[in-house]
Structure formats: C-alpha cells, structure tokens
Amino acid sequence: MSEQHPPVAQPPYGQQPPPGYYPPPKKKHTARNILIAMGVLFVVFVGGCFAVVGLAANEVSDAIEESENETGGRANPVEITPGEAFSVRGFDYAAGWTVGADALGDIQVEKLKVTNNRDDRDSALVEIKFWKGQEILGMTSCTTELIEVGTTVALSCLSGDDMPKRYNRVTINDTF
C-alpha cells in the first residue's frame, strides 16, 4: 500500500513556495515494473511455445493424412490376388504365397516375402483383408523387423479371425 502524506498547502498559482518547501518525492515503481515486464515476457514466451507445438502437430497430421491416402495407405488399399506378386509403396512382394486356414480355422498366410526397394531401411507393417462386397470378413496383420534396402525377408502374419469360406477380393494396406 502506498504511504500517504498529509495535504501540503501550496501557494496560489504564480507565487513562489515558501523557503524549505519541497514537494513530496515521486515514487519509483521499479520492482513493480520489472515484475510486469517479466509477466508479459512469460506470456509471450508461452504463447510462442503453443504456436510452435500447434504448427508441428498440424504438419504431422497432414503428413499422416497424405500417407493414408496414397495407394497402399490405410484409406486406399491395393487389391491383390493370393499367390501373385505385387508392389506397395516401394515394397515388392514375391509370387508363391498362399492363404488358407490354420489348425484352428484362423486366417493363415504363408511364404509371403517382401523386398525393400524404398530409399531407406524400413519395416513392413501391413493388413491383409478378405472382402465380400463392402464387408470385411476377416483380416490378418503381417510384420517384419527393419529391412535393409535391397533385402528380402519373410513376413510374419497373425490373425484371430476365421478364414472366410467365400470372399470376392483381397486387399493389402500399410497400417501407418
């Protein structure tokens, strides 16, 4: 709280103050001004951080959406034929693979091999889906470890879905 001084009688306008009269000293608010400046800088800094994080999140979201819409992405799967060779986004899958039911009747994909012809080493993380019209009857997920460029490896496929008796198409897409 500010210190209050008793009112000081000042001489009328144009007259000199009596000897020994000094007006009350002006208060310096240095500490208050420093705190206000620091508060403003903090708010600007935090706002800038939020802006940077927001822009980065938007860029990541756009990249994911673009990837999903590419051929072979989650939103644009590639139709494949069991046993035949096919390519998805720089991964070349060899002919000779099979689909069927395992001992429990679940979807089983065997002998599916992929060669990495992308620009960098990468893992295959794909979904193979069995369709009847617009309905997905079953799906299996297939994965690999990191594959060096130019290297061929077998995929490991796992499904808990029963192998459909009748389906009219099979698709594959990257999971991300």
Query: Which range, of 15-24, 108-117, 153-162, averages the lowest pLDDT?
Result: 15-24
Q: pTM for this one?
A: 0.62
Among 174, 168, 157, 9, residue whose Cα is nearest residue 76: 174
Q: What is the pLDDT of residues 20-30, one digit of tens each?
A: 777 777 777 78
Q: What is the pLDDT of residues 47-58, one digit of tens each?
A: 888 888 887 777
Query: Which range, of 17-21, 29-33, 91-95, averages the lowest pLDDT?
Result: 17-21
- The model's confidence at residue 9, banded by pLDDT at 50, 70 and 90, is low
Neighbours of 147 (CB within 10 A): 19
SS (H, E, C) the chain: CCCCCCCCCCCCCCCCCCCCCCCCCCCCCHHHHHHHHHHHHHHHHHHHHHHHHHHHHHHHHHHHHHHHHCCCECCECEEECCCCCEEECCEEECCCCEEEECCCCEEEEECCEEEECCCCCECCEEEEEEEECCEEEEEEEEECCCECCCCEEECEEECCCECCCCCCEEEEEECC
Sketch the domain layout of the chain as residue ranges. 27-69, 79-174
Give Cα separations from 16 to 11, 21, 22, 53 (angstroms): 7, 10, 12, 64
What CA–CA distance (Å, rounded) separates 90 from 24?
A: 82
Which residues are bridge partners to 115 per DSSP? 92, 152
Which residues are bridge partners to 172 per DSSP? 78, 128
Q: What is the pLDDT of residues 33-45, one digit of tens each?
A: 888 889 988 888 8
Q: Is the pLDDT of residue 127 over 60?
A: yes
